[in-house]
Amino acid sequence: MIVLVIGGAGYIGSHTARALKRAGHEVIIFDNLSTGYEFLAEGFELVKGDVLDASALKNVMSRTEAIMHFAAHAYVGESVTNPRKYFRNNVEGGLSLLNAAVDAGLKKIIFSSTCAVYGEPAKVPIEENTVRQPVNPYGVTKMFFEQSLEAYDRAYGIRYAALRYFNAAGADESGEIGELHAPETHLIPLTLQAAAGTGPGLQVFGSDYPTPDGTCIRDYIHVNDLASAHVKALEYLASGKESFAVNVGTGHGYSVQEVISAAEEITGKRVPRKIGPRRPGDPPALVANPAKAQALLQWKATRDLRDNVATAWKWMQRRATLVHQ
Ligand SMILES: NC(=O)c1ccc[n+]([C@@H]2O[C@H](COP(=O)([O-])OP(=O)(O)OC[C@H]3O[C@@H](n4cnc5c(N)ncnc54)[C@H](O)[C@@H]3O)[C@@H](O)[C@H]2O)c1
């Protein structure tokens, strides 16, 4: 199939583009490079454009059969201080894309949703039928797009997969591509930067949560496991089946302290850290129940925390040599 990967020059999109290629699909990347990088799209046709540009989308959609939509702003804190930016890109941009897809007669869309749509769930592990109650504008924009997909499915026969990612982590095993957010806000790269002495010491937000070691627990899903879930979702929709929303996580939670210990073991270095107060809006634990994805897509995460940390570390070292070349 010819797949339009919107946001394919970013972290998760670039890994998924490679997974699609390995599975025999053709990929066209569409990206405005606002947070993405041209070198992450190397080896693919890259169309530089913005999802708000309907005519650019129209041109490229005329050559494609399915869409994967990764393009979004994705900093929770920034979405609180600058919601306008988030509603513009994630909501207006998302609708521009959906309308262009309907006009082009494209019926298959796979969307990067998030566990942030659940907000602070009453029960963990989280199942897909948990009420969606996002607690920040970022989560609201993602829920809005899920609801738009539901309406466009009913009205126009769009078939969608809403993949609710938990915490994406790790890097391609080749060491050639990986996470490159600026500023970086994700725990594993921040922990590794602290270990390497290239970043500030790690700030731990809260050590008095009702968890075994007092730090927050999250479900870290390796980016290549995420990528393979996209390929499975595409093939599921292509076989004529109905739209769906699933959690994409491992079902295992790790605490901040456990991530730090894994990083110290893998790097052989101490992670300098400061324990600070809790951050508002951080639930103690967010862990997926991944049973639905397994049943529907025959998909299961195959990598664990060690793989996440080890591949991220390999990528960080490779990046350092790239910078010094
Ligand atoms: N990283 C995570 O842990 C995580 C967790 C849950 C959900 N998500 C979602 O997954 C998706 C990808 O996240 P990521 O970590 O790879 O982020 P990223 O910033 O690395 O990738 C996003 C890509 O989209 C592009 N883009 C943004 N706005 C655009 C626009 N208007 N037009 C065209 N291109 C545009 C950016 O240039 C970038 O290449 C996002 O939708 C994010 O909300 C990420």
**Strand, helix or coil for residue 155:** helix
Angle at 165 between CA 38 and CA 25, to 5 degrees: 50
Q: Say which of 138, 152, 220, 254 is annotated catalytic.
A: 138
**Dist CA 19 CA 224 (whole Å):** 8
- CB of 4 within 8 A of CB of 68? yes
In the chain, the percentage of residues whose pLDDT exceeds 70 is 99
The CB of 70 under 6 Å from ligand 1? The reply is: yes
Query: Which ranges constitute the DSSP H helices of 127-267?
Result: 137-156, 187-196, 223-238, 256-267
Tell the CATH superfamily of the 2-169+220-248 domain. NAD(P)-binding Rossmann-like Domain (3.40.50.720)
pLDDT at residue 322 in the model: 61
Q: What is the pTM of this model?
A: 0.97
* 33, 35, 126, 179: residue to mutate for ligand 1 pocket, most atoms within 8 A of CB: 35
Angle at 42 between CA 41 and CA 48, to 5 degrees: 45
Q: Coil, strand, or helix at residue 202? A: strand
Name the token pair of 180.
């490159």
At 325 the pLDDT is 45
Q: Please report the pLDDT score of residue 323 as a whole number.
A: 52
* Token pair for 17: 């583009």
213 DSSP 8-state letter: T
Tokens read off for 201: 């010491």
In the block, residue with structure tokens 């959690």: 247
CATH 3.90.25.10 placement within the chain: 187-218+251-324
- Does domain 187-218+251-324 fall into CATH 3.90.25.10? yes
Ligand 1 centroid to Cα of residue 53, in Å, is 17
Could you tell me the distance, in angstroms and rounded to a whole number, from the CA of residue 71 to the centre of ligand 1? 4
**Active-site residue flag, 138:** yes
Cβ(248) – ligand 1 distance below 6 Å: no
Q: 153 with 243: CB under 8 angstroms?
A: yes
* Two tokens, residue 100: 């262009």
Ligand 1 atom closest to the Cα of residue 9 is 39
Amino acid at position 195, single letter: A
The mean pLDDT of the chain is 96
Q: Which of 4, 31, 42, 308 to mutate to test the pocket of ligand 1 (most atoms within 8 A of CB)?
A: 31
| Rounded distance between C-alpha atoms, residue 30 and residue 63, angstroms | 12
- Show the tokens assigned to 243: 């739209």
Single-letter amino acid, residue 79: S
Tell me, what's the pLDDT at 199?
76
- How many whole angstroms separate alpha carbon 248 and alpha carbon 298? 12
Cβ of 9 less than 6 Å from ligand 1: yes
Residue nearest to atom 10 of ligand 1 (CA): 112
The token pair at 99 is: 């309308």
Q: Which residue lies with its CA nearest to atom 23 of ligand 1?
A: 7
Instruction: Identify the bridge partners of residue 160 per DSSP, sorted by sequence position.
Output: 109
Q: Does ligand 1 come within 6 angstroms of the Cβ of 166?
A: no
CATH 3.40.50.720 residue spans of the chain: 2-169+220-248
Q: Would the CB of 32 count as within 6 Å of ligand 1?
A: yes
Distance CA 122, CA 90 (A): 27
C-beta of 33 in contact with ligand 1 (< 6 A): yes
Helices (H), 46-128: 54-61, 76-81, 83-86, 93-104
Mean pLDDT in runs of 10 for the chain (325 residues)? 98 98 98 97 98 97 98 96 98 98 98 97 97 97 98 98 98 95 93 91 96 98 98 98 98 98 98 94 94 98 98 92 56
pLDDT digits (tens, 9 = 90+) for 216-262: 999 999 999 999 999 999 999 999 999 999 999 999 999 999 999 99
The full 3-state SS of 274-324, as one line of letters, equals EEECCCCCCCCEECECCHHHHHHHCCCCCCCHHHHHHHHHHHHHHHHHHHH
* Greatest CA separation for the chain: 56
Q: Who's near 193: CB < 8 A, 6+ residues apart?
A: 184, 199, 316
